Amino acid sequence: MRLSLLPVFVFLMPLAEIAGFIIVGKVVGLWATLALVILSALLGAALLRIQGIGILQRISTESRNGGDPGREMVHGAMIVVAAFLLMLPGFISDIIGLLLFIPAVRELAWTVLRKRIVVLGSSRAFRRGPGYTSGPGGAPGPQPRQPGGGQVVDLDETDFHREPDRNSPWSDRKRLED
């Protein structure tokens, strides 16, 4: 979704939810509508607990095997969003939340998001992938190449230091010639 459409979405979503309450309330009645809202909140909390534990186990397994846990992490994030949507009062958010609990829908979302997400890790599990060789004395060797063809270079504060240019017009220090 474009960022410029976000205010419109934020404004229209509550109106759509109110319309949903009115339509469902006319069909099933007030008490049944309130019961459905409470039931969806409880269902969201239960599904978060059940599916969340499974996702955490799959992330742990992927990390231990030296794989990329990015897919499982995105699936976990989508489950959290789905549970949050189910806990919100409203039927449209419930429908979206229930759709996100379906693995095929999450997989479709993952294929769309895959190109935009990069998971970087500093544990040994992330460094056991293809292209990794251990250096002398067990020191870390080169990191695997990234999909774009470049190699990731991780610099600490001690690895890179830049002295300020005193002649720069954007320098905070006043020049003596002025």
69-82: pLDDT as tens digits:
777 788 888 888 89
Q: 0.75 cut: is pTM over it? A: no
Burial class (CB in 10 A: 0-12, 13-18, 19+), 55: buried
pLDDT at residue 132, as a whole number: 46
Q: Compare 89 and 59 and report the one with higher pLDDT.
A: 89
59-66, Cβ contacts within 8 angstroms, sequence gap of 24 or more: 63/121, 63/123, 63/125, 63/126, 64/125, 65/125, 66/125, 66/126, 66/128, 66/129
